[in-house]
Structure 1
Amino acid sequence: MTTPKSDFEIPEQMREFAEKSVDQARKAFDTFMDATQKAVGRVEEQTNAAQSGSLGMNKKALDYAEEHVDAAFQLAQKIVRANDVQEIFQLQSDYLKAQMEALGEQARDLSESAARTAGDVGRKGTDS
Protein backbone atom coordinates (compact mmCIF):
# COMPACT_ATOMS: atom_id res chain seq x y z
CA MET A 1 0.00 0.00 0.00
CA THR A 2 1.39 3.37 -0.99
CA THR A 3 0.80 6.60 0.82
CA PRO A 4 -0.38 9.53 -1.28
CA LYS A 5 2.15 12.33 -1.74
CA SER A 6 1.17 15.70 -0.38
CA ASP A 7 3.83 17.63 -2.30
CA PHE A 8 2.96 19.02 -5.67
CA GLU A 9 5.35 17.59 -8.26
CA ILE A 10 5.77 18.79 -11.81
CA PRO A 11 6.44 15.98 -14.30
CA GLU A 12 9.86 16.20 -15.96
CA GLN A 13 8.31 16.17 -19.46
CA MET A 14 6.17 19.14 -18.51
CA ARG A 15 9.21 20.99 -17.12
CA GLU A 16 11.12 20.38 -20.37
CA PHE A 17 8.20 21.62 -22.45
CA ALA A 18 7.86 24.74 -20.29
CA GLU A 19 11.59 25.41 -20.42
CA LYS A 20 11.64 25.06 -24.22
CA SER A 21 8.65 27.39 -24.47
CA VAL A 22 10.37 30.00 -22.31
CA ASP A 23 13.56 29.67 -24.38
CA GLN A 24 11.64 30.08 -27.66
CA ALA A 25 9.77 33.10 -26.33
CA ARG A 26 13.06 34.56 -25.12
CA LYS A 27 14.68 34.12 -28.55
CA ALA A 28 11.69 35.73 -30.26
CA PHE A 29 11.80 38.65 -27.82
CA ASP A 30 15.56 39.10 -28.29
CA THR A 31 15.05 39.24 -32.07
CA PHE A 32 12.29 41.80 -31.61
CA MET A 33 14.44 43.90 -29.26
CA ASP A 34 17.38 43.82 -31.69
CA ALA A 35 15.15 45.12 -34.47
CA THR A 36 13.67 47.74 -32.15
CA GLN A 37 17.10 48.90 -30.98
CA LYS A 38 18.22 49.25 -34.61
CA ALA A 39 15.10 51.27 -35.43
CA VAL A 40 15.67 53.54 -32.43
CA GLY A 41 19.27 53.98 -33.57
CA ARG A 42 18.16 55.04 -37.05
CA VAL A 43 15.67 57.52 -35.61
CA GLU A 44 18.36 59.01 -33.37
CA GLU A 45 20.65 59.49 -36.35
CA GLN A 46 17.94 61.48 -38.15
CA THR A 47 17.13 63.93 -35.35
CA ASN A 48 18.64 67.27 -34.43
CA ALA A 49 20.33 68.36 -31.20
CA ALA A 50 17.18 69.83 -29.64
CA GLN A 51 15.52 66.42 -29.68
CA SER A 52 18.49 64.47 -28.35
CA GLY A 53 17.38 64.75 -24.72
CA SER A 54 13.95 63.29 -25.33
CA LEU A 55 15.38 60.56 -27.57
CA GLY A 56 17.85 59.70 -24.84
CA MET A 57 14.94 59.33 -22.44
CA ASN A 58 13.05 57.18 -24.94
CA LYS A 59 16.08 54.92 -25.32
CA LYS A 60 16.48 54.76 -21.56
CA ALA A 61 12.81 53.83 -21.15
CA LEU A 62 13.20 51.15 -23.81
CA ASP A 63 16.28 49.82 -22.00
CA TYR A 64 14.32 49.71 -18.74
CA ALA A 65 11.48 47.85 -20.43
CA GLU A 66 13.97 45.34 -21.79
CA GLU A 67 15.44 44.88 -18.30
CA HIS A 68 11.97 44.19 -16.89
CA VAL A 69 11.14 41.65 -19.58
CA ASP A 70 14.52 40.00 -19.05
CA ALA A 71 13.80 39.74 -15.32
CA ALA A 72 10.40 38.20 -16.10
CA PHE A 73 12.03 35.59 -18.35
CA GLN A 74 14.55 34.81 -15.63
CA LEU A 75 11.67 34.36 -13.17
CA ALA A 76 9.86 32.08 -15.62
CA GLN A 77 12.97 29.94 -16.00
CA LYS A 78 13.37 29.69 -12.23
CA ILE A 79 9.70 28.80 -11.78
CA VAL A 80 9.82 25.92 -14.27
CA ARG A 81 12.77 24.55 -12.31
CA ALA A 82 11.14 25.00 -8.89
CA ASN A 83 10.75 21.94 -6.72
CA ASP A 84 7.51 22.90 -4.99
CA VAL A 85 4.83 25.54 -4.61
CA GLN A 86 6.59 27.18 -1.65
CA GLU A 87 9.66 27.80 -3.78
CA ILE A 88 7.49 29.28 -6.53
CA PHE A 89 5.89 31.68 -4.05
CA GLN A 90 9.30 32.71 -2.70
CA LEU A 91 10.65 33.27 -6.21
CA GLN A 92 7.66 35.42 -7.09
CA SER A 93 7.95 37.40 -3.86
CA ASP A 94 11.65 38.06 -4.45
CA TYR A 95 10.93 39.05 -8.04
CA LEU A 96 8.21 41.53 -7.08
CA LYS A 97 10.41 43.13 -4.41
CA ALA A 98 13.31 43.52 -6.85
CA GLN A 99 11.03 44.93 -9.56
CA MET A 100 9.53 47.53 -7.21
CA GLU A 101 13.02 48.66 -6.19
CA ALA A 102 14.10 48.85 -9.82
CA LEU A 103 10.99 50.82 -10.78
CA GLY A 104 11.68 53.35 -8.04
CA GLU A 105 15.26 53.86 -9.17
CA GLN A 106 14.24 54.08 -12.81
CA ALA A 107 11.50 56.62 -12.08
CA ARG A 108 14.01 58.82 -10.22
CA ASP A 109 16.49 58.50 -13.09
CA LEU A 110 13.87 59.37 -15.72
CA SER A 111 12.67 62.31 -13.63
CA GLU A 112 16.22 63.67 -13.34
CA SER A 113 16.76 63.17 -17.07
CA ALA A 114 13.52 65.00 -17.86
CA ALA A 115 14.56 67.92 -15.66
CA ARG A 116 17.98 68.09 -17.37
CA THR A 117 16.37 67.94 -20.82
CA ALA A 118 13.91 70.70 -19.92
CA GLY A 119 16.78 72.83 -18.64
CA ASP A 120 18.85 72.20 -21.77
CA VAL A 121 15.93 73.07 -24.06
CA GLY A 122 15.24 76.20 -22.03
CA ARG A 123 18.87 77.31 -22.29
CA LYS A 124 18.96 76.61 -26.04
CA GLY A 125 15.77 78.64 -26.47
CA THR A 126 17.32 81.68 -24.78
CA ASP A 127 20.61 81.31 -26.70
CA SER A 128 18.88 81.79 -30.08
Structure 2
Amino acid sequence: MTEDGRRFEIPKDMRAMAEAGFDQARQTFEKFLAGAEATAGSLEERGATVRAGAKDIGAKVLSYAEKNVQSSLDYAQSLVHAKDLPEVLKLQSAFIQGQMRSLAEQASEMGQVISRAAFDATKPKV
Protein backbone atom coordinates (compact mmCIF):
# COMPACT_ATOMS: atom_id res chain seq x y z
CA MET A 1 0.00 0.00 0.00
CA THR A 2 1.12 3.55 -0.55
CA GLU A 3 1.39 6.14 2.17
CA ASP A 4 -2.08 7.48 1.43
CA GLY A 5 -3.64 4.01 1.86
CA ARG A 6 -4.06 3.10 -1.82
CA ARG A 7 -2.83 -0.25 -3.16
CA PHE A 8 0.09 -0.19 -5.52
CA GLU A 9 -0.78 -1.90 -8.80
CA ILE A 10 1.35 -2.53 -11.84
CA PRO A 11 -0.21 -0.88 -14.94
CA LYS A 12 -1.57 -3.23 -17.63
CA ASP A 13 0.69 -1.75 -20.32
CA MET A 14 3.72 -2.41 -18.15
CA ARG A 15 2.61 -6.00 -17.55
CA ALA A 16 2.10 -6.54 -21.28
CA MET A 17 5.53 -5.14 -22.06
CA ALA A 18 7.12 -7.36 -19.41
CA GLU A 19 5.27 -10.42 -20.75
CA ALA A 20 6.60 -9.70 -24.26
CA GLY A 21 10.10 -9.33 -22.84
CA PHE A 22 9.84 -12.67 -21.02
CA ASP A 23 8.60 -14.39 -24.17
CA GLN A 24 11.57 -13.02 -26.08
CA ALA A 25 13.94 -14.08 -23.29
CA ARG A 26 12.52 -17.61 -23.36
CA GLN A 27 12.98 -17.83 -27.15
CA THR A 28 16.55 -16.56 -26.87
CA PHE A 29 17.29 -19.08 -24.14
CA GLU A 30 15.91 -21.93 -26.24
CA LYS A 31 18.23 -20.92 -29.11
CA PHE A 32 21.18 -20.74 -26.67
CA LEU A 33 20.31 -24.18 -25.31
CA ALA A 34 20.19 -25.67 -28.82
CA GLY A 35 23.64 -24.21 -29.55
CA ALA A 36 25.01 -25.47 -26.24
CA GLU A 37 23.69 -28.95 -26.95
CA ALA A 38 25.34 -28.89 -30.37
CA THR A 39 28.63 -27.86 -28.75
CA ALA A 40 28.34 -30.59 -26.14
CA GLY A 41 27.72 -33.03 -28.98
CA SER A 42 31.03 -32.04 -30.58
CA LEU A 43 32.82 -33.18 -27.41
CA GLU A 44 31.81 -36.70 -28.34
CA GLU A 45 34.57 -36.78 -30.95
CA ARG A 46 37.22 -37.33 -28.21
CA GLY A 47 38.38 -40.55 -26.57
CA ALA A 48 35.85 -43.00 -25.18
CA THR A 49 36.56 -42.48 -21.47
CA VAL A 50 37.03 -38.74 -21.70
CA ARG A 51 34.01 -38.54 -23.96
CA ALA A 52 31.80 -40.31 -21.46
CA GLY A 53 32.96 -38.05 -18.61
CA ALA A 54 32.64 -34.89 -20.69
CA LYS A 55 29.21 -35.96 -21.86
CA ASP A 56 28.04 -36.51 -18.27
CA ILE A 57 29.47 -33.17 -17.15
CA GLY A 58 28.05 -31.37 -20.18
CA ALA A 59 24.64 -32.91 -19.65
CA LYS A 60 24.63 -31.84 -15.99
CA VAL A 61 25.75 -28.31 -16.84
CA LEU A 62 23.06 -27.97 -19.48
CA SER A 63 20.47 -29.41 -17.13
CA TYR A 64 21.43 -26.96 -14.39
CA ALA A 65 21.55 -24.01 -16.77
CA GLU A 66 18.13 -24.84 -18.14
CA LYS A 67 16.65 -25.34 -14.67
CA ASN A 68 18.20 -22.13 -13.30
CA VAL A 69 17.21 -19.94 -16.24
CA GLN A 70 13.71 -21.41 -16.30
CA SER A 71 13.39 -20.78 -12.56
CA SER A 72 14.56 -17.18 -12.98
CA LEU A 73 12.18 -16.56 -15.86
CA ASP A 74 9.29 -18.06 -13.91
CA TYR A 75 10.19 -15.89 -10.92
CA ALA A 76 10.37 -12.75 -13.03
CA GLN A 77 7.06 -13.56 -14.64
CA SER A 78 5.47 -14.11 -11.23
CA LEU A 79 6.69 -10.66 -10.20
CA VAL A 80 4.84 -9.15 -13.15
CA HIS A 81 1.62 -10.64 -11.80
CA ALA A 82 2.24 -9.58 -8.19
CA LYS A 83 -0.55 -7.43 -6.84
CA ASP A 84 1.39 -5.49 -4.22
CA LEU A 85 4.69 -5.08 -2.41
CA PRO A 86 4.05 -7.74 0.27
CA GLU A 87 3.40 -10.28 -2.48
CA VAL A 88 6.63 -9.23 -4.25
CA LEU A 89 8.57 -9.71 -1.01
CA LYS A 90 6.97 -13.12 -0.44
CA LEU A 91 7.84 -14.19 -3.99
CA GLN A 92 11.41 -12.96 -3.62
CA SER A 93 11.91 -14.79 -0.34
CA ALA A 94 10.58 -18.05 -1.78
CA PHE A 95 12.74 -17.65 -4.91
CA ILE A 96 15.93 -17.01 -2.95
CA GLN A 97 15.31 -19.97 -0.63
CA GLY A 98 14.64 -22.22 -3.60
CA GLN A 99 17.76 -21.04 -5.42
CA MET A 100 19.93 -21.65 -2.36
CA ARG A 101 18.61 -25.22 -2.04
CA SER A 102 19.07 -25.77 -5.75
CA LEU A 103 22.63 -24.41 -5.70
CA ALA A 104 23.60 -26.72 -2.84
CA GLU A 105 22.12 -29.75 -4.62
CA GLN A 106 23.76 -28.83 -7.92
CA ALA A 107 27.18 -28.28 -6.35
CA SER A 108 27.04 -31.66 -4.61
CA GLU A 109 25.90 -33.49 -7.74
CA MET A 110 28.47 -31.73 -9.93
CA GLY A 111 31.26 -32.64 -7.51
CA GLN A 112 30.24 -36.29 -7.74
CA VAL A 113 30.05 -36.23 -11.54
CA ILE A 114 33.44 -34.53 -11.90
CA SER A 115 35.09 -36.88 -9.39
CA ARG A 116 33.69 -39.91 -11.19
CA ALA A 117 34.82 -38.57 -14.59
CA ALA A 118 38.32 -37.80 -13.27
CA PHE A 119 38.60 -41.23 -11.66
CA ASP A 120 37.46 -42.96 -14.85
CA ALA A 121 39.84 -40.90 -17.02
CA THR A 122 42.86 -41.77 -14.86
CA LYS A 123 41.98 -45.42 -14.32
CA PRO A 124 44.62 -47.64 -15.97
CA LYS A 125 43.39 -49.55 -18.99
CA VAL A 126 43.45 -53.29 -18.67
Task: Report the TM-score range of the alignment, normalised by the length of the smaller protein.
Answer: 0.7 to 0.9
Q: Separation in 2 of the partners of 1:102 and 1:69?
A: 12
**Counterpart residue number, 2:93:** 93
> How far is 1:9 from its partner?
1.2
Q: Distance in 1 between matches of 2:107 and 2:7?
A: 41
TM-score by length of 1: 0.85
SS at match of 1:30: helix
SS in 1 for 2:9: coil
Matched, 1:127 2:125: yes
Q: 1:5 offset after TM fit, Å?
A: 4.5
Quote the residue 2:32 is aligned against: 32
Looking at structure 1, the residues matched to 44 and 53 of structure 2 have their Cα atoms a distance apart, in angstroms, of 13
Could you tell me whether the CA contact under 8 Å between 2:15 and 2:81 is conserved in 1? yes
How many angstroms apart in 1 are the aligned matches of 2:105 and 2:72? 18
Give the alignment of 1:24-103 within 5 angstroms: 24-41=24-41, 43-51=42-50, 52-103=52-103
State the 1:50 CA deviation.
2.7
Number of matched pairs: 122
Identity among equivalent positions (%) equals 34
Q: How far apart are 1:63 and its partner, in Å?
A: 1.8
Q: Deviations over 1:42-72 (max 9, x none)?
A: x133122131213321331122012101100
CA RMSD of aligned residues (A): 1.6
* Structure 1 unaligned blocks of 5 or more: none
